[in-house]
Chain A
């Protein structure tokens, strides 16, 4: 790693002031950032250590659960209120990384994991994220793990966070603090598709810090589930994943929220898919139709065509488990 400076911040205001300087960023768990800096995918002249900020609490009320940006993955996964009210969040966290990393990594940092692929991490390859305009070798190259939805001619990498998929299904809100004050960003607006600026992955402005995430209680007694399919049993990114929140009454879908990982350049949500299911019985035909709607605009490449079928099967599997398919 190249040399960098370091400041341990003790309050959010100071942290933001320090991180507003050029070539400066925050470090929390460090589990993603340090590897990016080793690879040369990111270079920072100064790091602001935010681990001592008092932003690690999980609190709950009737409106939902608030998770501090510096709460750790394990802490949130084991929180009884999260387990009871948002099981999909706990499941997505426990399906992520390894026990050691879950002890270290913060919720804010998890959401800010770089959208990546092997070419992004390889300093010897072209990559429009690392060097804008240099090209995307994945489009004609090794693209088995890449996205089929939301891609552009400039980037087809997937966002790696399982938690972000669960939060997308839950309509979470991200709280940030920056040089111009505090603001809230709906998770649906937080991640940006690559378009022709794949190096810009989210709506955060320079110097902004994630202070927390709100999980709103929208559905009464919802069933929820996170299904993650991967190339080995554990400690691996998703090939395809589904976060589902479902409420069935009288045999019909009263409400459903679905988000998909491993298939999109950002955590993928489709209002059309949900509308296909809402108000209907979960018959095999209805679920198959929802799957077809999901992949209608998919752009598969040579290596990842299997994801078109796999994501539909994953959707059917989750709905079958949660609501039964007749």
Chain B
């Protein structure tokens, strides 16, 4: 285990350790389907129940994790890498709490498999601040009191960052439309719209 894979002991570490104990790297490129062993399976193939090691760049740091194919990017981030800033809300693509950037584009990490992200660059909420200096979108959310319980906030901020970079912040209505993939159960939408527009002005000069 390399140094970057060492997770500080927190209350979730017990669960992670239990999950890692059963992991075995897939032996070879042969895939067994119900029809029997399948020759010429491409490198990176893994059979049902097996695991595979994948490499990702998460917030600029190279990470290797061992996952079953059914592990979503969201679960790999939270349970395998200890990056619990990305939240699991609905776990079916409807709430947006799990929004991260993959190769610069916002996606829902509960709807993509970690194995599909092999070689990708992932940015999570943990990757925005520079030391103690918060990202302008984070600052704007605090300035505008743009959250209540905070459950959706990491996803809202990641989505807002992409929304600003995509240029969809010219009006309140446009922000509402282009932030529609992120729900807030506290309905702090009014202040979030203000925060996104404010951050946009700051970032775009």
Contact = CB atoms under 8 A, between A and B. Distances in A.
A and B co-occur in one complex:
yes
B154 interface: no
A85 interface: no
Contact of A14 (B40, B44, B50, B176): B40
Contact of A5 (B45, B93, B110): B45
A101 B163 contact: no
B193 to A, nearest CB: 14
Given A30-B112, A234-B177, A235-B180, A4 B70 contact: yes
Contacts of A14: 40, 42
A9 B41 CA distance: 9
Interface string A225-247: 00000000111000000000000
B106 A103 contact: yes
A31 B108 CA distance: 9
A106 to B, nearest CB: 12
Interface centre among B45, B96, B99 (most CB of A within 10 A): B45
A10 interface: yes
Contacts of B163: 99
A10 B33 contact: no
B69 A38 contact: no
A35 B92 contact: yes
B178 A99 contact: yes
A38 B70 CA distance: 10
Contacts of A5: 31-33, 45-48, 50, 69
Interface in A86-103: 97-101, 103
A27 to B, nearest CB: 7
Interface string A40-66: 000001110101000000000000000
Contacts of B96: 98, 100
Interface stretch (A16-24, A163-171, A174-182): A16-24
B48 A31 contact: no
Contact of A21 (B38, B91, B107): B38
Contact of B33 (A22, A31, A103): A22
Contact of A100 (B44, B159, B176): B159
Given A5-B32, A21-B33, A235-B180, A99 B106 contact: yes
Contacts of A24: 33
B162 interface: yes
Interface in B95-115: 96, 99, 105-108, 110-113, 115
B70 A2 contact: yes
B151 interface: no
- Please tell me the size bucket of the interface on A: 35 or more
B9 interface: no
B186 interface: no
Contacts of A27: 113, 116
A99 B162 contact: yes
Contact of B116 (A3, A45, A51): A51
Contact of A7 (B45, B68, B118): B45
Interface residues of B, number: 48
Contacts of B31: 5, 7, 18, 46
A34 interface: yes
B123 interface: no
B49 interface: yes
Contacts of B69: 3-6, 47
B35 A9 contact: no
B2 to A, nearest CB: 24
A8 B92 contact: no
B42 A7 contact: yes
A22 B178 contact: no
Interface string B168-192: 1000000011101100000000000
Contacts of B34: 21-23, 45
B42 A8 contact: yes
Given A3-B68, A234-B177, A104 B118 contact: no
> Which 8 pairs of residues, A with B, have the shortest CB-CB distance?
A98-B181, A6-B69, A7-B45, A5-B48, A234-B180, A235-B180, A21-B33, A5-B47
Interface of B: 31-35, 38, 40-50, 52, 68-70, 72, 91-93, 96, 99, 105-108, 110-113, 115-116, 118, 159, 162-163, 166, 168, 176-178, 180-181
8 contacts: A1-B70, A3-B49, A5-B45, A6-B113, A24-B33, A31-B93, A49-B115, A99-B168
Given A23-B33, A45-B33, A235-B180, 4 more contacts: A3-B70, A5-B69, A7-B42, A18-B38
